Amino acid sequence: MTKYIIQKTDSLKSSLDSHRPFPDHVVKQLRDYYRIGLTYTSNAIEGNTLTESETKVVIEDGLTIGGKSLREHYEVLGHAKAYDYIYSLLDREITEEDVLLLHKLFFEQIDSENAGRYRQRNVIITGTDYLPPDYHEVPELMKKCLENLNGIDKDKHPLELASDLHAEFEAIHPFIDGNGRIGRLLLSILTMKNGYCPVIIPPIRRAEYITAMQKSNKGDLITLRIFILSVIYEEMKSLKKVVESLVK
């Protein structure tokens, strides 16, 4: 199953590669497009009720949306800042400082005390029986996670590796809050480093994603791989159409 999806995805990547390097105007439009798309979908998965069009208004026009909470606005603005930072990480190794800064950029207006620092207490994840590691273990586990993020596993396709590393990060659950959004940004960094699209998980597939994540916590990485690969494949199809329309 994964081999078949990978083959189809790599075929799309080959088509896109024929247009690289993309013209500057294409790069800018894609970057702006994914700032909205990633921010909206990643926040929606966590329960943020701002629509995609409202997310765009908050980010690009600096306006507030009536009836929506301050936290929801801060989540949008913080995620957009963290998204902008990921482009500085595409051509170098990801450090612990980078991960902490990503979290600080996202979380600072929501909880300045805990923004940019690992959790200082044990937590539970609602809706699951999985218990994240003791908070004392987080720094060492993150050190190993970063070694894996920056390493190369020749036995796995880059997209399979990205999915497995996403599972590893989420299992550590290093922050008091915002783990899903930072984890999905790191996932997109890994796919983009290898020439694929960012990973946009449609809110309509939220339950599927959560189920796959819960299974990964119990040692089943295949379900999450298949899910992530299917999401990337669909987005690669969309990206191919967009790029071909822009480079004409």
Convert the pLDDT of each residue in 181-199 to its tens digit.
999 999 999 999 999 999 9
- pLDDT of residue 1 exceeding 90, the answer is no
CA distances (Å), origin 96, targets 27, 78, 132: 28, 19, 19
Residue 241 DSSP SS3: helix
Mean pLDDT of 52-57: 98
The per-residue pLDDT for 88 is 97
- pLDDT of residue 244 exceeding 80, the answer is yes
State which amino acid sits at residue 90.
L
Mean pLDDT of 143-167: 94
The per-residue pLDDT for 127 is 79
CA distances (Å), origin 150, targets 34, 90, 180: 24, 11, 20
The per-residue pLDDT for 59 is 98
Q: Model pTM?
A: 0.97
Mean pLDDT of 129-133: 93
Convert the pLDDT of each residue in 44-54 to its tens digit.
999 999 999 99
The per-residue pLDDT for 126 is 82
Average pLDDT, the chain: 96
Q: Is 173 a catalytic residue?
A: yes
The per-residue pLDDT for 128 is 83
Domains of the chain in sequence order: 2-114+126-246 (1.10.3290.10)
* HSE of 178, CA atoms in CB hemisphere, 13 A: 34
- pLDDT of residue 248 exceeding 80, the answer is no
Q: Could you say which of 73, 79, 157, 173 is catalytic?
A: 173
The per-residue pLDDT for 152 is 82
CB atoms within 10 A of CB 9: 22
* HSE of 198, CA atoms in CB hemisphere, 13 A: 24
What own/partner pairs with CB < 8 Å and gap ≥ 24 does 100-104 have?
A: 102/182, 102/185, 102/186, 103/175, 103/178, 103/182
The per-residue pLDDT for 103 is 98
pLDDT band at 205 (very low <50, low <70, confident <90, very high): very high
- pLDDT of residue 145 exceeding 90, the answer is yes
